[in-house]
Structures are given as C-alpha cells and as structure tokens.
Amino acid sequence: MPKIKQLYSAEQIQTRVKELGGEISEDYRKLPRPVVIGVMKGAFCFLADLVRNIETDDTLQVEFVRLASYGSASESSGQIQTPYLELPNIFNRHILVVEDIVDSGRTARFFLDYLEGQFKPASLKIASFLDKPSRRVVPVRADYVGFTINDLFVVGYGLDYGERYRELPYLGELSGVEATAP
Ligand code: IMP
Ligand code: MG
C-alpha cells in the first residue's frame, strides 16, 4: 500500500518560496527583462508561486520547456528526452531555470549546456524547489534551493510518481511502492 508522509506543509512551502522570491528579487532587481524558464512538468507549482514572489524593476518573461528522462517511475535513466524544447530568441539574456528537483543532476546539466550553447546567456542560474545532493552523478550546483532533502522519494507540489500525486499541496515522502512504473 502506498503511504505518503508529509515532510513540508503547504504553509511551510509558501513561507520558503516567499524567502526565495525575496533573494531572487534582490539579485535580479536591476537586470533587463529576466527570462524565467520552467521545466515541465514537475516545476509547474513552484514556478507559479515563485514568479508571484519576485519583484524586479523590469517585468519577467516566462517560458516553458518539457524535459523528461525515461526510466522507471522513481529512478531516472540518464537519457534526457526533449518532448518540448521551443524557445524564442533569448540570446544574451539573463536566464533563470526553474526546476522541481536536482537529483542526479543530469536533466539540469543537459539543459544548462543546451542554453549555454544556443543562447550564450548574459547570466544563467537555477532555482530548484528541492535539492538531493547525495544523489548527484554529474556536477551541478543549484543557485537557489527551496529545501535540501535526503535520499527520499518525494511527491506533491508538482512532483509525481508515475504521473500521480502532482496535485498535493504539500510535499510528502512516498513509501510502499515498487521502484518500477505502476
Ligand atoms: P535528475 O536525476 O536530476 O536528472 O532528475 C530528473 C527528474 O527526476 C526530476 O526533474 C524529477 O522529475 C524526477 N525526480 C527525481 N527525484 C524525484 C523524487 O524524489 N520525486 C519525484 N520525482 C523525482
Ligand atoms: Mg517525474
């Protein structure tokens, strides 16, 4: 039987996202038209809350891509798929990538390298709702992190297990499931 144990409540998440929004506002305040790129699907809740807590002199541009790594429901494979990678011309802009979680680091590394190669950004940073540094396979450092967690499988607030549980308003640890897709 799948069991979900709450790790961070909706209120705790909102408080932390507000703090992160404040930090990002300070760093991006004076920059011209910062571009925020959300990595679907997992980042949809975080991005929606984060941008509403960012205040800059110029307004933000919000874009989305969809990246996926094939594999089982709870282990990424290392092969990055790009189901949607359409971006306008954002050459030489200040880019902030918004991720749900940096786990092995493969997805983030792939996307940072892609953006660097395609658009030579004026600056390129990552805001990730979660960081699991103990799982890192390729070197990536997230510049803004909501919560650093241990090697647990978590769901909710956008994160899924086999396309379930994304809608939960809190973050929970999932247990009692197979490591293969249901
Ligand atoms: P990566 O291993 O850093 O490339 O992360 C790949 C993707 O795996 C993330 O964007 C998430 O969608 C997913 N992922 C990694 N850890 C978890 C987790 O604990 N819960 C749900 N999804 C996860
Ligand atoms: Mg997933």
Q: Which two tokens stand for residue 123?
A: 């600056």
User: Can you tell me the distance from the alpha carbon of 68 to that of 152, in angstroms, rounded to the nearest whole number?
Assistant: 20
Residue 44 maps to a domain: yes
| pLDDT number for residue 13 | 99
Query: Is 128's C-beta closer than 6 angstroms to any atom of ligand 1?
Result: no
Q: Is 124 in contact with 97 (CB distance < 8 Å)?
A: yes
State the average pLDDT over residues 24-35: 98
Residue 148 maps to a domain: yes
Report the atom number in ligand 1 closest to the C-alpha of 149.
19
- Residue-wise pLDDT for 36-64, tens only, equals 999 999 999 999 999 999 999 999 999 99
Residue 182 maps to a domain: no
State the average pLDDT over residues 145-172: 97
State the average pLDDT over residues 156-178: 96
What domain range includes position 30?
3-172
Give residues with Cβ within 8 angstroms of 94, minimum separation 6.
Answer: 28, 31, 32, 33, 34, 35, 121, 122, 123
Domain of 97: which CATH number? 3.40.50.2020
Q: Is 33 in contact with 57 (CB distance < 8 Å)?
A: no
| pLDDT number for residue 179 | 62
Residue 181 maps to a domain: no
Residue 26 maps to a domain: yes
Mark residue 8 as left, alpha or beta (left: phi above 0; alpha: psi -120 to 50; beta: remaining). Answer: beta
Residue 180 maps to a domain: no
Closest listed residue to residue 50, CA positions, set 13, 21, 8: 21
Residue 178 maps to a domain: no
- Residue-wise pLDDT for 69-91, tens only, equals 866 667 777 789 999 999 999 99
Domain count, the chain: 1
What's this model's pTM, rounded to 2 decimal places?
A: 0.96
- Residue-wise pLDDT for 112-121, tens only, equals 999 999 999 9
8 forms bridges with which residues in the sheet?
171
Residue 133 maps to a domain: yes
Report the atom number in ligand 1 closest to the C-alpha of 153.
19
Atom 19 in ligand 1: which residue has the minimum CA distance?
153
